[in-house]
């Protein structure tokens, strides 16, 4: 694992911080960050993702999450930093984060031990729901794939590229993306063993503030598998879509996930 000394706030996390301060240096955002942000350059979801979840604080969308078992969801560690289970709630299976789907509370937070304030490694966390839900979970892929592998990201972050620039969409957004060479994310100190550098052929398009914790997928409609967890912008400039974004490689953490979630 690479060791990096990244300046706090040097790179922007993609969380909607509602009463929470992400602690990942290099993925950190200030507590005053506006939670009103979404996927830039995308469009409304064209299909149902019944395992997609909105992680909420005080009833407002904060981050994305993915149901990987009837009682566990996967998200980014910086999305739950400083939170107690009672602070969090989830709306699962609705394309609208304000209504519909299944609501559940959180009974346990499990943050990966590699997560630390001076390195973005381990930006992944498991949340145990306070009850089982009926929605079908998403499977985690065996591997993420090589550069140029087509992928898709989904979320409720802002579409207007800068922090606090507008209101988040109520409807889930999606954008087709692809894995790119790690060298294109060197400004954010990407770790090739545990992180994915993700770009798109569309100009000024990628994840943005509020998309943190949401999934990166590979496959095809009706047969998607989870490969990544939205982590942070890949550029020191806090403007979305100016460079590839960084995703935690969920496939690199399957042993840890299975150990704690028993999926």
Query: Pick the catalytic residue: 61, 78, 97, 112?
Result: 78
Which DSSP string do the residues of 77-89 spell out, in sequence order?
A: GGGSTT--GGGEE
Instruction: Give how far Cα 74 sits from Cα of 104, 107, 244, Å.
Output: 14, 14, 22
Burial class (CB in 10 A: 0-12, 13-18, 19+), 201: exposed
Closest CA to 27 of 8, 7, 13, 10: 13
Q: Could you identify the residue written with the tokens 């145990």?
A: 128
DSSP letter (8 states) at residue 181? -
Query: Pick the catalytic residue: 95, 212, 235, 245?
Result: 212
Residue 148 has φ and ψ, to the nearest 5°, of 80, 0
Distance between CA atoms of residues 217 and 163, nearest Å:
25
Distance between CA atoms of residues 81 and 39, nearest Å:
22
Burial class (CB in 10 A: 0-12, 13-18, 19+), 192: middle
Check if 78 is active-site. yes
Check if 123 is active-site. yes
Check if 176 is active-site. no
- 213 and 76 Cβ atoms separated by less than 8 Å: yes
* Buried b / exposed e along 99-110 (16+ C-beta atoms within 10 A): eebbbbebeebb
Distance between CA atoms of residues 17 and 87, nearest Å:
13
Query: Pick the catalytic residue: 123, 191, 211, 249?
Result: 123
User: Where in the sequence numbering do the catalytic residues fall?
Assistant: 78, 123, 212
């Amino acid at each position: 694992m690479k060791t990096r000394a990244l300046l706090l706030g040097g790179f922007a996390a993609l969380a909607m911080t509602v009463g929470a301060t992400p602690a990942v240096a290099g993925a950190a955002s200030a507590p005053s960050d506006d939670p009103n942000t979404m996927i830039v350059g995308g469009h409304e979801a064209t299909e149902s993702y019944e395992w997609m979840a909105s992680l909420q604080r005080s009833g407002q969308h904060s981050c994305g999450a993915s149901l990987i078992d009837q009682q566990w969801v996967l998200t980014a560690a910086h999305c739950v930093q400083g939170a107690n289970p009672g602070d969090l709630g989830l709306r699962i299976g609705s394309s609208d984060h304000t209504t519909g789907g299944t609501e559940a509370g959180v009974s346990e937070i499990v943050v990966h031990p590699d997560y630390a304030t001076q390195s973005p490694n381990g930006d992944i966390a498991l949340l145990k729901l306070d009850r089982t839900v009926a929605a079908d979970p998403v499977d985690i892929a065996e591997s993420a794939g090589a550069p140029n592998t087509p992928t898709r990201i989904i979320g409720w972050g802002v579409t207007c590229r800068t922090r606090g620039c507008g209101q988040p969409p109520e409807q889930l957004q999606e954008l087709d993306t692809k894995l790119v060479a790690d060298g294109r994310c060197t400004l954010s100190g990407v770790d090739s063993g545990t992180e994915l550098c993700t770009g798109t052929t569309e100009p000024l398009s990628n994840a943005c503030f509020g998309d943190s914790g949401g999934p990166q997928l590979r496959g095809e409609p009706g047969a998607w598998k989870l490969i990544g967890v939205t982590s942070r912008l890949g550029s020191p400039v806090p403007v979305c879509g100016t460079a590839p974004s960084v995703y935690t490689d969920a496939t690199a953490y399957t042993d840890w996930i299975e150990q704690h979630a028993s999926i």
